[in-house]
Amino acid sequence: MKKKVVIIGAGFGGLAMGIRLQARGYTVSIIDKQAQPGGHAVQLRKGGYTFDMGPSLITAPGLLKELFALGGKSLEQFLTLLPLDPYYRVYFWDGSFIDYTGDSERMKAQIAVLSPGEERAYDAFMHRSRAFYGAVIEQGLGARPFGWRELIFFLPKALRLGALRSSYALAADYFRDERLRFLFSFHPLFIGGDPFQAPAVYQMIPYLEKREGVWYAIGGMHAVAQALTRLFIDMGGMIYLETEAKRIRVEKGEAVAVQTSQGELPADIVVSNADFLHTVRHLYPEPYQWGASRERWMSYSMSAFLLYLGLRRTYPERLPHHTIALGPRYRGLVKDIFRRKVVPDDFSLYLHAPTRSDTTMAPLGGESLYILSPVPHLRPGMDWKALSPTYVERILTFLEEKLHLQGVREEIEVLETFTPEDFALQRNCTYGAAWGPEPLLWHTAVLRPPNRSRRIPNVFFVGAGTHPGAGIPGVLLSAKATEVAVTEAYPLSLAPVPV
C-alpha cells in the first residue's frame, strides 16, 4: 500500500493537492524552497506596506470552499471574502474606459456609449462563453485527467462551438470596435496566454467571472494561501519551508524518496507542483530526464515585470481596486512579447490597489500599489538587472502622463521590483516564465503535460504546468484531476470517503 506522499511546491496547486490527499487518508508532506507558502502568492512587507507579489483576483471561490469542506471546516472560519464591483476598470488607449462588471445591463449601457449598437452582441457572446464553461467546468473535463476518451467526447463539441479558433477571432465574430475586441478577448493573458493564439475555449473565463464574481480576501491573496496551509496542518499534514528538492530518487523504475537541501524524505508517491520543465530536467534522475530536443517541443508562457510602490497617498478617482491601462498597441505588443520575445518600448499595465477594499494593507492614507507589465520570458542576452531601472522610469512616466496619477513620484516611500530573472531564481520557473507551458492548442487537454508522469509511474504533477492549466481556478482543478490519477493508481484499501 503506497501511502506516504511528498509534494514538491507549496503553491495553490501543492496546497490543494495536500489537502485532498490528506482527506483521503494519505500521509502528506509538502516542501517548498521559499520561506512562505503560496508559490506566486507570497507577500512582501516593507515600511508598513504589504504587497501581494503575484495573484490578486479571486475567481471561482467555490473551488476554495470545497477544500475547506474536505477538512471539515468552512471558508468563513478562516477568511473574509469581499465581492468586487466593478471587477476591474479598463482604460483604453484613447482615454475612454469601461468599468467591467458581471451586471449585464450596466455592461450593455457602457458598451452602447463606446460603440452604439454593439451592446446587442454582449448577451450572445456571454452565451458562447457559457457553453465553454459548461464543457470544462460543469461536465468536469477540467477536473479529471484528460485522456483519449475525454478527447473523443470533447472534440466534436469543441469543433461545433468553435472552441479551437483563437480567442481574438471569437471576439471579432461578435464585436467590430477594437476596444471591445480587446475587452472580450484578453482573458487568456490572465493565464499567461496570447489572445491571438490561445484557443477560444479559454474564453470560458468571462462567464466564470460573471457567474461566481471576482473577490478579494481581507489580508490579500497570501491570506488565502496561509489559510490553506493552516487547514492542511490541522488535517495532519507536514510542511517544510526553505527546503528545496534537488532530485527524485528512483529505484527499480519507481520514485522512493525526494532528496532535498535539508536531507532526504522517503516517499511512496511524489507529486511535483514545481515548474514542469524544472521537474523533468532537473529533478528527474538520469536516465529519465528530458533532453534538449524534447524541450524544444514546448512553448513557454510570457513572464512579468512587477513594480511594488508604497505611496503616501491613494488615487481613488483614477484607480478602483483593479485597473487595466492599455497602451496604443494590442496585436503588435502581444506579438513582441510572445512570438518575437523582445522587450517592447510600449506596454499595457495591470494595477492592484488593495486599500480600496482593505486599509490594513498600507499605513493610514497610503497605498500599496502593485503594477504588472507583461514581458517576454528570458532569452539569451536579456539582462533585467540592466533593463530594470529604465523600465521603472518608463512605468512611472506612464502613470503620470497616461494614467494621470499626478505627482506619483513624489509620493513613493517604498519601491521594489520582481523581474523574470527573479521568477527563474526564486521559484525555479523555466525561462522565468511565470505561467508555465503556454496555453496553446498543442498544450491543451491531452496535449498538455499529463497529471501522471509517463516515465516514472508513481510521480504526478499538479499546478499550472499540467492539465487544465494556469490561474488559481485552473490549478485548483488540476489538484482534483491529479487526486483522481493518484487514487486510481494507488488506492488506499480503507481510504475514508471525504464529505
Ligand X SMILES: Cc1cc2nc3c(=O)[nH]c(=O)nc-3n(C[C@H](O)[C@H](O)[C@H](O)COP(=O)(O)OP(=O)(O)OC[C@H]3O[C@@H](n4cnc5c(N)ncnc54)[C@H](O)[C@@H]3O)c2cc1C
Contact positions vs ligand X (CB under 6 A): 8-14, 31-34, 39-41, 54-57, 59, 244-245, 273-274, 278, 304, 306, 372, 427-428, 434-435, 463-464, 470-472, 475
Cα angle 305, 323, 178 (rounded to 5 degrees) comes to 95
CB 244 within 8 A of CB 258: no
Residue 42: CB minimum distance to ligand X, A = 7
d(CA 465, CA 30): 18
Residue 39: CB minimum distance to ligand X, A = 2
How far is CA 342 from each of CA 69, 429, 488, rounded to the nearest angstrom? Answer: 45, 19, 44
Q: Which is nearer to ligand X, 194 or 411 (CB)?
A: 194
Nearest alpha carbon to residue 84 among 209, 221, 214, 224 = 214
Residue 113: CB minimum distance to ligand X, A = 28
Residue 159: CB minimum distance to ligand X, A = 28
The amino acid sitting at 43 is Q
Q: Which is nearer to ligand X, 98 or 372 (CB)?
A: 372
d(CA 200, CA 184): 11
Residue 242: CB minimum distance to ligand X, A = 9
Residue 261: CB minimum distance to ligand X, A = 8
How far is CA 148 from each of CA 38, 401, 446, rounded to the nearest angstrom? Answer: 33, 52, 7
The amino acid sitting at 64 is L
Residue 446: CB minimum distance to ligand X, A = 20
Nearest alpha carbon to residue 170 among 184, 156, 183, 160 = 184
Copy the grid coordinates of residue 492. Answer: 488506499
Residue 229: CB minimum distance to ligand X, A = 12
Cα angle 307, 429, 43 (rounded to 5 degrees) comes to 40
**Sequential DSSP letters for 155-205:** HHHHHHHTTTSBHHHHHHHH--SHHHHHHTT-GGGGGT--TTTSBGGGGGH
326-330: long-range contacts (C-beta < 8 A, 24 or more apart)? 326/90, 326/91, 326/92, 326/93, 326/182, 327/93, 327/398, 327/402, 328/93, 330/178, 330/182
Give residue number: closest CB to ligand X: 39
Nearest alpha carbon to residue 32 among 18, 51, 45 = 18
Q: Which is nearer to ligand X, 115 or 289 (CB)?
A: 289
d(CA 397, CA 254): 55
d(CA 201, CA 141): 12
d(CA 90, CA 213): 17
Residue 340: partners with Cβ closer than 8 Å, 6 or more residues away: 376
310 strand-pairing partners: 368, 414
Residue 125: CB minimum distance to ligand X, A = 22
Nearest alpha carbon to residue 375 among 326, 406, 424, 333 = 333
Q: Which is nearer to ligand X, 33 or 111 (CB)?
A: 33
Q: Which is nearer to ligand X, 395 or 472 (CB)?
A: 472
Q: Which is nearer to ligand X, 126 or 208 (CB)?
A: 208
Residue 12: CB minimum distance to ligand X, A = 4
Q: Which is nearer to ligand X, 161 or 204 (CB)?
A: 204
Q: Which is nearer to ligand X, 175 or 449 (CB)?
A: 449
Q: Which is nearer to ligand X, 59 or 419 (CB)?
A: 59
Pairing of strands 81-83, 303-311: unpaired
Q: Which is nearer to ligand X, 5 or 245 (CB)?
A: 245
Q: Which is nearer to ligand X, 197 or 428 (CB)?
A: 428
Residue 160: CB minimum distance to ligand X, A = 28
